Amino acid sequence: MAERKLLVLYGSQTGTAQDVAERIGREGKRRHFTCRVTALDHYTLADLIYEPLVMFVCSTTGQGESPDNMKHFWRFFFRRNLPANSLCLVDSAVLGLGDSSYPKFNFIAKKLRKRLVQLGSNPLMTLGLGDDQHELGPDAVIDPWLTEFWAKALKLYPLPQGVNELSDDVLLPSKYSFQFQDETNIDVPVQALDMNGRNGKPPSQVQPFHARVLSNRRVTDPSHFQDVRLMKFDIAGSGIEYSAGDVVMIEPRNSLESVQQFCQLLRLDPHSMFFLKPNDSATPLPARLPQPCTVQYMVERHLDINGVPRRSFFELLSHFSVDEMEQEKLKEFSSAKGQEELYSYCNRPRRTTLEVLFDFPHTTAIIPHDYLLDLIPEMRPRAFSIASSQQAHPDQLHILMAVVQYKTMLKKPRNGLCSNWLASLDPQQGEVRVPLWTKKGGLRFPTDAKTPAIMVGPGTGVAPFRAAIQERVAEGKQDNCLFFGSRGKSKDFFCQAEWEELTQKGCLTLFTAFSRDQENKIYVQHRIKENGPLLWDLLHNKCAFFYIAGNAKMMPTQVMDSLKSIFQSEGGLAVTEAEQLLRDLERAGRFQTETWS
């Protein structure tokens, strides 16, 4: 009988792929597979040829790029000298997680599956393409895809005689055991993860740099509905190097109020200390949790108690419930049939894990502490476009951040975890520091001094272009064209004085669109269309690069439509030729987008 081993490899920027991969690992264990779940870059690639069954779960970032934790794998996997039959003994399946509002939707998953076939792997399944834009989220694709996968996997790797699948009612062992300590008996202090000791390595998620906040200034009018901040950080001595288009990753913090509420609900002493012990030798300790650790540290900095819980949360929670009504509801939310109900209860109002725990008090009170890290995922860092140039500000890093606050059907307003925490930091009240590190972004700017750059950045989408313009001006590149849009000139014209000064110096050509300053709304796509002759000259005759950054909802598509219209009116191209030109520009790296939902 074929060896019943399942390897689940994931590549993810946000952690979603990891969550899905761990779910697949749990489902595999219920079918008595020996399962290993790990990030692609943490796996020894030479061992891949010996794996009987491999599942790849991966997302796509930026302009069709691989996530950070699969970059090494990606470079190795596409080496030309790999034999064509390398993976002829491997059965594989690929599940992509993406957002169809991006031009290169699930590009990495598509390319990976094609390469697996080239190397001789037997594809067990058609490619799965999860889509965040689906009204029920990626589960709308993942659920039926996994049902088919397990059916095919069990045909190839049948259960041993007399062995049955474990039902969903069986509680699997926890990943870790908590060993709480009497503080008086601990000689080893909690590791000081907040120290800025670099050990010769650049800052990273495992060891971020704790940057001092220099300023935290609101750049929208006090009467404006939206609070947008320009924050400046001191990175002197950090070893951080960044360029225009790069992003900064920031670790958020749960509020002290949330930490206290969570500890009260689960009857945890925030000051108690514990060691973590993996229950499986293949399970590594969490890299960002010290040993020993306090409950306060874990809840404040590690557990995503203010995130919207996923379906697996309700599934695991149902195992602990002894209250009949609560258990019934939890099981409904975790079933395939109950996904619309779950969406209405959880996703639509953006109900947090902490709020859900309040709604199921009988179950919450008896959650075994050993299952905390199975139940609640690790808090993910947030990415912000860097809004400054290191050439202009050598020891600083700036971000332009909208403070996320909105209302749903719930009485309590929804607040973005990281943006509200950052907005609350006041350097005038004393020294405050923020853990951060940088990584390469998706935007690449031309190196040739004579190549113009056309940048379309409404709202906070202008952040990476502020960095690019500062950098290009510092390098003597003066052919910069910026289209900026917002609601009103007096309300939210970010960096107005800076743009106007650069315009006067001849370093910037600026076009603005203030949608609410006149009866008919004017947006950046209208300004683009009005300036067709200029843009055609820059793109056609001067080989300009064209960039879009901002909200993915409607703006990017409308800007692209205006651009194609210019290709037709100024270049005399047919519709199909205009569309092909835009594709050609994208392929050449001269048309780039950075958008978010």
3-state secondary structure of 324: helix
- Would you say 103 is a known binding-site residue? yes
Domain identity same for 19 and 148: yes
**What is the enclosing helix (H) or strand (E) of 538?**
none
Which domain range does residue 558 map to?
453-595
- Would you say 419 is a known binding-site residue? yes
Domain identity same for 418 and 467: no
Domain identity same for 458 and 581: yes
User: Which among 459, 379, 396 has a CA at the least distance from the CA of 214?
Assistant: 396
Domain identity same for 35 and 69: yes
- Would you say 397 is a known binding-site residue? no
Q: 196 or 255, which is more confident?
A: 255
Q: Among 156, 171, 200, which residue terminates a domain?
A: 156
Q: Residue 236, Cα to own-chain centre: how many angstroms?
A: 27
- Would you say 417 is a known binding-site residue? yes
Domain count, the chain: 4
So what's the pLDDT on residue 2? Answer: 65
- Would you say 382 is a known binding-site residue? yes
Residue type, 364: T
- In the sheet where 453-456 sits, what is the strand order? 509-514, 480-486, 453-456, 545-551, 591-596
Domain identity same for 560 and 472: yes
Whether residue 201 is contained in a domain is answered as: no
- Would you say 104 is a known binding-site residue? yes
- Would you say 384 is a known binding-site residue? yes
- Would you say 523 is a known binding-site residue? yes
- Would you say 16 is a known binding-site residue? yes
Whether residue 73 is contained in a domain is answered as: yes
Domain identity same for 54 and 139: yes
- Would you say 525 is a known binding-site residue? yes
So what's the pLDDT on residue 468? Answer: 98
- Would you say 150 is a known binding-site residue? no
Question: In this prediction, what percent of the chain has a pLDDT beyond 70?
Answer: 96
Domain identity same for 568 and 520: yes
Q: Is the pLDDT of residue 189 over 50?
A: no
Beta strands in 219-349 (DSSP E): 228-234, 247-250, 273-278, 293-294
Domain identity same for 294 and 364: yes
So what's the pLDDT on residue 194? Answer: 46
For residue 576, what are the contacts with CB-CB under 8 A and spacing of at least 6?
none
- Would you say 596 is a known binding-site residue? yes
- Would you say 218 is a known binding-site residue? no
Whether residue 183 is contained in a domain is answered as: no
- Would you say 416 is a known binding-site residue? yes
- Would you say 34 is a known binding-site residue? no
So what's the pLDDT on residue 192? Answer: 42
Whether residue 246 is contained in a domain is answered as: no
Q: Is the pLDDT of residue 411 over 90?
A: no
pLDDT in tens, 26-71: 999 999 999 999 888 888 888 999 999 999 999 887 667 788 788 8
Whether residue 479 is contained in a domain is answered as: yes
- Would you say 521 is a known binding-site residue? yes
Whether residue 506 is contained in a domain is answered as: yes
Task: Report whether the peptide linkage leading into residue 292 is cis, meaning its omega lies within 30 degrees of zero.
Answer: yes
- Would you say 121 is a known binding-site residue? no
- Would you say 60 is a known binding-site residue? yes
- Would you say 106 is a known binding-site residue? yes
Query: Mean pLDDT score of the chain, rounded to an integer?
Result: 91
Q: How confident is the model at residue 201 (pLDDT cuts 50, 70, 90)?
A: confident
Q: Among 141, 156, 171, which residue terminates a domain?
A: 156
C-alpha span between 334 and 169 (Å, rounded)? 12
Domain identity same for 577 and 464: yes
So what's the pLDDT on residue 280? Answer: 83
Whether residue 350 is contained in a domain is answered as: yes
Q: Is the pLDDT of residue 187 over 50?
A: no
- Would you say 425 is a known binding-site residue? no
Q: What is the pTM of this model?
A: 0.85
Question: Which ranges of 428-553 does DSSP label H, i.e. alpha helix?
Answer: 463-474, 496-504, 524-530, 532-536
Give the CATH number for residue 226. Answer: 2.40.30.10
C-alpha span between 12 and 21 (Å, rounded)? 10
- Mean pLDDT for the stretch of residues 425-451: 93
Whether residue 9 is contained in a domain is answered as: yes
Domain identity same for 216 and 310: no
Give the CATH number for residue 268. Answer: 1.20.990.10
- Would you say 219 is a known binding-site residue? no
pLDDT in tens, 97-145: 988 877 788 999 999 999 999 999 999 999 999 988 888 778 889 999 9
Domain identity same for 10 and 152: yes
Give the CATH number for residue 88. Answer: 3.40.50.360
For every residue of 32-70, DSSP letters joined together read T-EEEEEEGGGS-GGGGGG-SEEEEEEE-BTTTBPPGGG
Domain identity same for 355 and 390: no
- Would you say 105 is a known binding-site residue? yes
- Would you say 321 is a known binding-site residue? no
Q: How confident is the model at residue 560 (pLDDT cuts 50, 70, 90)?
A: very high
pLDDT in tens, 373-396: 999 989 989 999 999 999 999 999
- Would you say 499 is a known binding-site residue? no
C-alpha span between 461 and 181 (Å, rounded)? 48
Cβ atoms of 566 and 534 within 8 Å: the answer is no
pLDDT in tens, 217-229: 999 999 999 999 9
Q: Among 118, 134, 156, which residue terminates a domain?
A: 156
Torsion of CA 26, 313, 112, 121, to 10 degrees: 10
Give the CATH number for residue 584. Answer: 3.40.50.80
